[in-house]
Amino acid sequence: MTDGTTSAVDTAPAGESALARLEREGDIAADYLEGLLDIADLDGDIDMDVEGDRALVSIVGEGDDRTLQRLVGQDGEVLEALQELTRLAVHRETGERSRLMLDVAGFRARKRAELAELGADAAERVKSTGEQVKLRPMTPFERKVVHDAVAAAGLRSESEGEEPQRCVVVLPA
């Protein structure tokens, strides 16, 4: 920039490792979420981690998680929106697209376990019948978890259809 200002991209450390970049994303997200919790007058702690190629940020309750359920919403709809807002906050600071994953009160962790079981069960049905199995429409996060579970069971799966009716099809070997 020629007017003497700098952008967040200009301030990113040169040669920053992937781990350092993801940890920085987590820090930015945590700051954003702490501000949001203050505005909403909600109590919660922020936990950060890095898994694979994405930062994981969790808001955990201090005892009773029911107060945080407002940040999850019905079927995680509020959580999805909050995740997108948090990704935008990270993008604003870094100038880079974030794949950050947000969890609130363990909702996504529980959902991940349920979906992994669904994927493993579908894989077993395909193995026993030799017929493909088409699952209900899912969000991108849900499909990713199911695809991973199917692959871990030694089978192949594909996504088919258009959003929001996109679903996973588990295929025989």
Contact 101, 56 (CB under 8 A): yes
pLDDT at 13 over 60: no
Contact 18, 99 (CB under 8 A): no
Contact 145, 118 (CB under 8 A): no
Mean of the per-residue pLDDT values for the chain? 89
Q: Domain ranges for the chain, please list them.
A: 18-105, 110-171
pTM for the whole structure: 0.78
pLDDT at 156 over 60: yes
Distances 149 to 11, 61, 67, 79, 114 between C-alpha atoms, Å = 39, 29, 32, 23, 11
Lowest mean pLDDT among 55-69, 137-151, 152-166: 55-69
- For β-strands 45-51 and 54-60, DSSP reports them as antiparallel
For domain 18-105, the CATH superfamily is K homology (KH) domain (3.30.300.20)
pLDDT tens per residue across span 69-96? 889 999 899 999 999 999 999 999 999 9
pLDDT number for residue 145 = 95
CA angle 106, 87, 63 (to 5 degrees): 25
Distance (Å, rounded) from C-alpha 54 to C-alpha 25? 9
Please check whether the domain covering 110-171 is classified as CATH 3.40.50.1580. Answer: no
